[in-house]
Structure 1
Amino acid sequence: HDTTLGPALGGTRMWMYQNEMEGLNDVLRLSRGMTYKNSISGLDLGGGKAVIIGDSKTEKSEALFRRFGQFVNSLSGKYITAEDVGISPEDMVHVSKETQHVVGLPGKSGDPSPVTAYGVYMGMKACAKIQYGSDSLTGKKIMVQGVGHVGEYLVKHLTEEGAIVSISDIQEDTLKRVSTTYNAKVVGLQDVYDAEMDIYAPCALGATLNDDTLSRLKCAIVAGAANNQLKDEAKHGDQIMKQGIIYAPDYAINAGGVINCFSEVKGLSLQWAHDKAQEIYNTIFNIVTRSKNENVPTYKIAGKMAEERITNAKLGNVK
């Protein structure tokens, strides 16, 4: 999508798209998101993304990932790939047999989920600071939708701080395990949007903020790890502000994963990644503060801030 700030970094997603057009639309949307995410996080990276059309449960093979690795290699480092939905660090090992332009391998910076979750947790606290005057989440009712990799780590942070956590997930076994481990209340898939909550944390697939759900949400903050949370960015980003809900723009709050990957690209420590993810608190705080001061929705402010950095880089005075 853009390589002004550096090589394009973004994950590979394996998903059963209905057709090629659907896959193409998704990858274009996701790659633009990566440009903004990498920029607003202050990383010297552009944005890119890849999708492999197929069933991640039945259609994986070493040959498939090696062939994909050859393709990534043909781009000569303009695109650096990593795991995303439907892909494991082990799959990335096969990719790495054909190209060095891959991050998130086992034993390197590994699974980015803990760092992503920590960043979301920090961003959520920044929203609370503005909405409630205190960034403490103790006693706050928080709905975590999707307790796969990132969601589970987020539940851990929230529980440890004394939040009252409810969870929902499509995978029954994951739901049971996380519920038991953290004593979290289980909520049905369709009941999420009508539940009593202070904070809604979408951590599964995107577009959960839409015409149907926004009118039902009873929260004061939306802060989660999912990508593309607003089904229609302009329409629903404006609507959520009108409802008085603070929305933490997805690509700004969930940047911990890409921070983790960047640390691997540059050979930096996990501690560096953790400290950098802590800065997401300030990023979200600044976005929401500017949004309130200028009376402009947070998604627009985040976009503006990301674009300002890219424009500055083009003019040669990069921050």
Structure 2
Amino acid sequence: MTTASAYPGEPRVPSSVFDAGAEHEQVVFCSDPASGLRAIIAIFSTALGPALGGTRFHPYPDESAALADALALSRAMAYKAACAGLDLGGGKAVIIGDPTKDSSEALLRAYGRFVASLHGRYITACDVGTYVEDMDIVAREARWVVGRSPAHGGSGDSGVLTAYGVFEGMRASAARVWGSPTLAGRTVAVSGVGKVGARLVGHLIEDGASVLATDVNPAALARLRTLHPQVEIVDDPDELVGAAADVYSPCALGGALTEDTVGRLRAKVVCGGANNQLAHAGVDKLLAEAGILYAPDFVVNAGGLIQVADEIEGYREDRAKASAARIFRTTRSVFELAEAEGQTPGAAAVTLAERRMTGIGRLRRILLP
């Protein structure tokens, strides 16, 4: 197994597909012209167990962008599973296309056949652009599918525990910065109020926080207004970055934290549900230099992974939620390691993950009868 020292969101400009996937165990290109399926499955590591990661259905501008996303996300999933204490590796799949126009039973079942061809090395689930109903269709062709509907023994929408885990990570961040594990009396700016962000807002309000929120989707904002009329809506997502808030919470797509973003942030904590929030590894250092505590995304947003992983044993909500609650302790451990070893929180989280992947992964060299 090859691991990387760079933060999982770091972009790459490969000279070939072989160079691009050099750090990964396997990259599979899936094509079924009859259904329109064009997909990529990336397996970063199986050192701790089968690679689990969702399927993203997105209209990428080109195949290179889709490949880059699959590679970055699969690596982040490996680190996420390792930090969460799961016996799982990291993988990710992307389907190229517009899910509102291109998704069909034939396409999803064709994709399921490719998942099945990996014989359990990769376990799939929902991600942006796919839903539990889609996983039920994929599962008609493959056994290795989680994030299914409750009617089929699944846990349903993984956004439930993703939001809960982010809230626990935010509590740990608050304890680190302000000395108390609560957001009561704080203002939190939430960018993206979809499946995760909207639920996070609910936890924050219940804890006594004031919330500013934005989203590029007017329908998502309309739903939020109905659920939580006390939330202050900011129409322009760009304006939310510089808003007077204690915490900035990116909960949309990745790459939201750039040099420009860091320069405009007034928050003292960044903690959100989006994957690969840093535009590149150097942003982690810029946040630290600006005195902004960054809670690494693949640590705090692991609740969804924990939720769907619990389906492998037979889903129990109480057990899954108890596991997700440990994100508070893991986030705190990351901050402590960063301080002890003079690292940024992002680098410390990678260190924590790689140490577990190496330490437990080596046990596979012990031959069992």
Q: Normalization by structure 2: what TM-score? A: 0.84
Counterpart of 2:38?
none
Could you tell me how far apart the structure 2 residues matched to 1:47 and 1:317 are? 17
Question: 2:297 corresponds to which letter in structure 1?
Answer: D
| Counterpart-to-counterpart distance in 2, 1:161 and 1:317 | 44
1:217 partnered with 2:265: yes
Tell me the CA shift for residue 179 of structure 1.
2.5
1:79 aligns with 2:122: yes
Q: Decide which structure has greater helix share.
A: 1
The match for 1:125 is: 171
Question: Where do 1:223-238 residues align within 5 Å?
Answer: 223-233=271-281, 235-238=282-285
The answer to whether the 8 Å contact 2:277/2:297 transfers is yes
**In the alignment, which residue of structure 2 is the partner of 1:66?**
109
* Cα distance in 2 for residues equivalent to 1:201 and 1:104: 24
Q: Residue 155 in 1 paired to residue 201 in 2?
A: yes
1:291 aligns with 2:338: yes
Report 1:28-177 matches (<5 A): 28-107=71-150, 108-177=154-223
Match of 2:302 among 249, 252, 255: 255
Letter in 2 for 1:232: H
Name 2:46's counterpart in structure 1: 3
Q: 5+ residue gaps in structure 1?
A: none
Residues 1:309 and 2:348 aligned together: no
User: 2:68 aligned with 1:21, yes or no?
Assistant: no
- Residue 185 in 1 paired to residue 228 in 2? no
Matches of 1:148 and 1:158 in 2, distance apart?
Answer: 15
- Counterparts in 2 of 1:64 and 1:29: CA distance versus 1, 3 Å: same
- The number of residue pairs the alignment matches comes to 317
| Cα distance between partner residues in 1 of 2:341 and 2:47 | 28
Q: How many percent identity over aligned positions?
A: 44
In 2, are the aligned partners of 1:167 and 1:179 still within 8 Å (CA)? no
Quote the Cα distance in structure 2 between the aligned partners of 1:192 and 1:282: 29
**Aligned-residue offset at 1:73:** 0.2
> Given the two structures, how large is their TM-score scaled by the length of structure 1?
0.97
Return the letter of the residue paired with 1:47. Answer: G
Aligned Cα root-mean-square deviation (Å)? 1.2
Displacement after TM superposition at 1:296 (Å): 1.0
Query: Which consecutive segments of 4 or more residues in structure 1 shift more than 3 A?
Result: none
